[in-house]
């Protein structure tokens, strides 16, 4: 329902929206270059207001619109607004025989009238169970209080051998083989597979995400490649992103991107101008290890495979006491972008330190250059000191010596007569400064003790020893427990599952006491998902009926328990997509059986 507004109110509203849109476009030009920076609440609210335009439009489509039975297509809803401003209805009519699972949400921007227009993309994975046409009818989404029409779209399911069957664009994260360590630069490949019609020609803002990582895009790494897949050649588009882990354990990485794709003329796909499909990659688990002990001198966190560290000075002569710039070039592959030069010890002959500033480190491809500032103290020196340096090779699982060698150099006497011999410098450094007169001594001694009894003879001394021993024992026990849980993450997951099941048990009992059959069905399905997800890496809300049946024994799937699970999932689907209340008598009749099944599944978590 729309409301009438006076011309004055409309003018003020348009002026306010124009100003907010200008602010949003200025921010967006900077935000597109910094994709992983979170927004504060005030900026997010401002952008949400600016994103609700006067003429908001929505569209939807299947990618592809014809697919083989059992394969998965993508149903996308695209709205010209910020995602937080879009609210989907609760009663979208899903055709029978079409499995629907929620995907991710993407936000992009396209140029429009010298400004930027938000576009929110909501992905859903759809899988047909039989041949035929499946139509999602027209419905409305709420955007800033307005009802926006989403047109009807039809998905055609054909036999697997049919020439009409098409493939959707797919995205994947490829991880190189081998062991990975904290601080190592892992070269990930974000790979988009062409659907088979050579329509994919670019990736826009590909991102990798995951807790415990620092991600760096490799500029200029996007490229095309042909691969063999199931006996046929397919075109893929890939871009490299370096992931640097900062903690050990099993970490998860996922990726998203918007795809530049040629228009195929499919009437069942999104028809908005400048539309870019939003692609998601399945998450990938990576095991990260801590670096082993036994590091060689000069190790500063360099990990990879390197050939040499060569000094390349510009000059070969320097006067004693003057700074001398010593550039060092390292060649190889690894985390060169996070290289720290090794520390250089001082000696009577040399004073040295790594150079500071923005020019201290420069990386170009597989080469990195950093600088040392050396100050010779004695005329007549003919060589620079060797600088200990090393790196860790993850392929060979060992530390490798990469000492920076000494080079020939001539140290000349200073022109202003400032030359000092090594003996003079050593004698001056070893001679203590004596007071000129006794008057500079302290007027009275300073004592910090309140008694003449030694500390080790006081009763409190042993109490402190017991306290320290107890603290160390407690810390040791806590550390052992943490290491044990890190080695057995399934214990934490099962404990969390048991806690969630206790909450869901109370929820079912409340629904039983209130005779609320719909709430009892939702709580039962949630309990089945939680109990089944404890033994896998999946999240409970991502499990479907087949996943829960897979957690049962083969005998249970074919008996009453399997039929009971299917029945409750069908009732939950009706509540989600048809808003139809279940038959209460049928639900209460199966209540003892479902409680017995959940008790059996709970015992497996102990």
Q: Which of 430, 311, 325, 314 lies closest to 376 in space, CA to CA?
A: 325
pLDDT at 244: 92
pLDDT at 430: 39
Q: With a cut of 80, say whether residue 458 has pLDDT above it.
A: yes
pLDDT band, residue 30 (cuts 50/70/90): very low
Q: How many other CB atoms are found less than 10 A from the CB of residue 61? A: 23
Q: Which of 68, 66, 69 lies closest to 156 in space, CA to CA?
A: 66
Q: Was domain 170-289 assigned CATH 2.60.40.10?
A: yes
Helix (H, G, I), strand (E, B) or coil at 369: strand
Is 170-289's fold the same as 299-412's?
Answer: yes
pLDDT digits (tens, 9 = 90+) for 279-305: 999 999 999 999 998 888 889 889 988
pLDDT at 392: 92
Q: What average pLDDT score do residues 410-432 get?
A: 55
**DSSP string for residues in 211-253:** TTEEEEE-TT--EEEEEEETTEEEEEEEEEEEEEE-S-EEEEE
**Phi-psi sector, 549: left (phi>0), alpha (psi -120 to 50), beta:** alpha
pLDDT at 448: 60
| CATH architecture classification, 299-412 | Sandwich (2.60)
Spatial contact of 80 and 108, defined as CB atoms under 8 Å apart? no
pLDDT digits (tens, 9 = 90+) for 501-526: 889 999 988 988 888 888 888 899 99
Q: Quote the DSSP letter at residue 270.
A: -
Q: Higher pLDDT residue, 217 or 44?
A: 217
Question: Would you say the C-alpha torsion 295, 300, 306, 308 has a positive or negative sign?
Answer: negative
pLDDT at 440: 52
pLDDT at 428: 43
pLDDT band, residue 232 (cuts 50/70/90): confident
Which two tokens mark 181?
Answer: 């360590």
Q: With a cut of 50, say whether residue 422 has pLDDT above it.
A: no
- Rounded to 5°, angle at Cα 562 from 561 and 563: 95
With tokens 């921010």, the residue in question is 27
pLDDT at 19: 40
pLDDT at 581: 72
Q: Which of 196, 191, 166 lies closest to 259 in space, CA to CA?
A: 191
Which two tokens mark 320?
Answer: 């004693």
Of 85-89, 92-96, 257-261, 419-423, minimum mean pLDDT range: 419-423
Q: Tell me which fold the domain 7-158 belongs to.
A: Immunoglobulin-like (2.60.40)
Q: What average pLDDT score do residues 590-601 get?
A: 87
Terminal Cα distance for the chain, rounded: 54
pTM of model > 0.75: no
pLDDT at 517: 86
Domain positions in the chain? 7-158, 170-289, 299-412, 490-603
With tokens 């871009």, the residue in question is 239
């Amino acid at each position: 329902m729309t409301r009438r507004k006076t011309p004055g109110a409309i003018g003020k509203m348009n002026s306010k929206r124009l100003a907010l849109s200008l602010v949003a476009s200025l921010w967006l030009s900077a935000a597109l270059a910094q994709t992983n920076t979170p927004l504060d609440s005030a900026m997010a609210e401002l952008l949400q207001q600016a994103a609700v335009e006067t003429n908001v439009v929505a569209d939807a489509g299947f990618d592809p619109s014809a697919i083989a039975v059992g394969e998965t297509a993508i149903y996308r809803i695209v709205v010209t607004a910020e995602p937080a401003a879009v609210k989907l209805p609760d009663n979208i009519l899903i055709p029978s025989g079409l499995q629907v699972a929620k995907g991710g949400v993407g936000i992009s921007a396209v140029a429009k009238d010298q400004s930027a227009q938000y576009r929110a993309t909501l992905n859903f994975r759809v899988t047909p169970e039989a041949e035929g046409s499946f139509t999602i009818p027209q419905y409305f989404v709420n955007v800033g209080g307005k009802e926006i029409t989403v047109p009807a779209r039809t998905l055609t399911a054909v036999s697997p051998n049919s020439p009409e069957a098409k493939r959707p664009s797919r995205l994947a994260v490829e991880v190189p083989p081998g062991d990975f360590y904290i601080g190592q630069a892992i070269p990930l490949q974000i790979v988009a597979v062409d659907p088979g019609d050579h329509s994919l020609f670019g990736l826009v803002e590909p991102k990798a995400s995951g807790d415990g990582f620092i991600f760096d895009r490799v500029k200029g790494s996007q490229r095309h490649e042909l691969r063999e897949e199931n006996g046929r050649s397919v075109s893929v588009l890939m871009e490299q992103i370096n992931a640097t882990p900062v903690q050990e354990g099993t970490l998860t990485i996922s990726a998203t991107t918007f795809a530049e794709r040629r228009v195929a003329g499919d009437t069942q796909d999104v028809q908005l101008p400048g539309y870019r499909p939003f692609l998601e990659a399945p998450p990938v688990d990576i095991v990260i290890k801590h670096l082993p002990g036994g590091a060689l001198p000069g190790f500063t966190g360099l990990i990879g495979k390197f050939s040499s560290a060569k000094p390349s000075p510009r000059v070969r002569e320097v006067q004693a006491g003057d700074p001398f710039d010593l550039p060092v070039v390292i060649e190889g592959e690894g985390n060169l972008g996070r290289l720290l030069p090794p520390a250089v010890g001082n000696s009577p002959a040399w004073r040295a330190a790594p150079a500071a500033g923005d020019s201290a480190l420069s990386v170009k491809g597989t080469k990195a250059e950093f600088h040392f500032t050396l100050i010779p103290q004695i005329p007549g020196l003919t060589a620079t000191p060797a600088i200990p340096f090393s790196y860790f090779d993850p392929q060979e699982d060992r530390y490798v010596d990469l000492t920076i060698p000494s080079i020939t150099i001539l140290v000349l006497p200073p022109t202003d007569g400032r030359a000092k011999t090594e003996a003079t410098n050593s004698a001056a450094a070893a001679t203590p400064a004596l007071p000129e007169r006794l008057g500079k001594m302290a007027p009275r001694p300073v004592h910090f003790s309140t008694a003449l009894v030694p500390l080790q003879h006081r009763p409190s001394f042993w109490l402190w020893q017991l306290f320290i021993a107890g603290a160390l024992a407690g810390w040791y026990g806590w550390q052992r427990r943490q290491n044990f849980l890190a080695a057995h993450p399934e214990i934490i997951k099962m404990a969390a599952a048991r806690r969630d099941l206790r909450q869901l048990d109370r929820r079912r009992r409340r629904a039983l006491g209130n005779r609320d059959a719909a709430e009892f069905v939702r709580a039962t399905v949630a309990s089945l998902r939680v109990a089944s997800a404890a033994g896998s890496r999946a999240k409970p809300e991502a499990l479907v009926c087949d996943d829960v049946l897979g957690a049962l024994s083969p005998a249970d799937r074919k008996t009453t328990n399997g039929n009971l699970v299917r029945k409750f999932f069908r009732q939950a689907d009706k509540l989600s997509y048809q808003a139809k209340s279940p038959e209460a008598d049928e639900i209460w009749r199966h209540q003892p059986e479902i409680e017995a099944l959940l008790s059996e599944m709970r015992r497996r978590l102990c």
